[in-house]
Amino acid sequence: MADEKDPPSGFKVVDRRSFTQEGSPREEIPVAAGKPEPPAPSPAAARSPLVEEPEEDLLEEPSGFETLVSYLSTTAMFQLGLLAGPGGERIPPDMANAQRTIDLLQVVQEKTTGNLTPQETRLLDNVLYELRMTFVELQKRQARKGQ
């Protein structure tokens, strides 16, 4: 039972909490020789579709201004109903949020004036122009449907 002495198994339990059972701070916190290694994933988990591997392209290219503009413009296009949903279904336009996203791009344009390369300036100008024209066209269509 509990009183019986078993031969040592080579397994040692070390309490590394910073407080005692009474709640007072410990004088000395035992330090292990090294942090334990996380368990290796099983071969089945490595093949699982739920375990996603990071795309190499994302690791090679740092996030920069072009990535920010691309992210915001894609978000606006999705909100305008121009892109299909995850299952390929048509998403209805969300004009209020699309306007907010376009406005965010305009804020980026205003705050970065004079600090962008000519290529970045052209990118932002073109994206804003296209999104604004699309927004106005969709508003006109909705107004015609409402009549």
The tens digit of pLDDT for each residue in 42-66 reads 555 445 455 555 555 555 666 799 9
**Contact between 109 and 122 (Cβ < 8 Å):** no
How many angstroms separate the CA atoms of 135 and 98, rounded?
8
**Residue type (1 letter), 47:** R
pLDDT attached to residue 29: 53
C-alpha span between 29 and 17 (Å, rounded): 7
pLDDT in tens, 101-112: 999 999 999 999
- The whole-number pLDDT of residue 146 equals 79
Tell me, what's the pLDDT at 48?
47
pTM value? 0.57
- The contacts found for 82-88 with CB under 8 angstroms, 24 or more apart, are 82/134
Q: How far apart are CA 80 and CA 73, in angstroms?
A: 10
Distance CA 82, CA 1 (A): 71
Element (H, E) at 58: helix 56-60
Low-confidence ranges of the chain (pLDDT < 50): 33-34, 45-46, 48
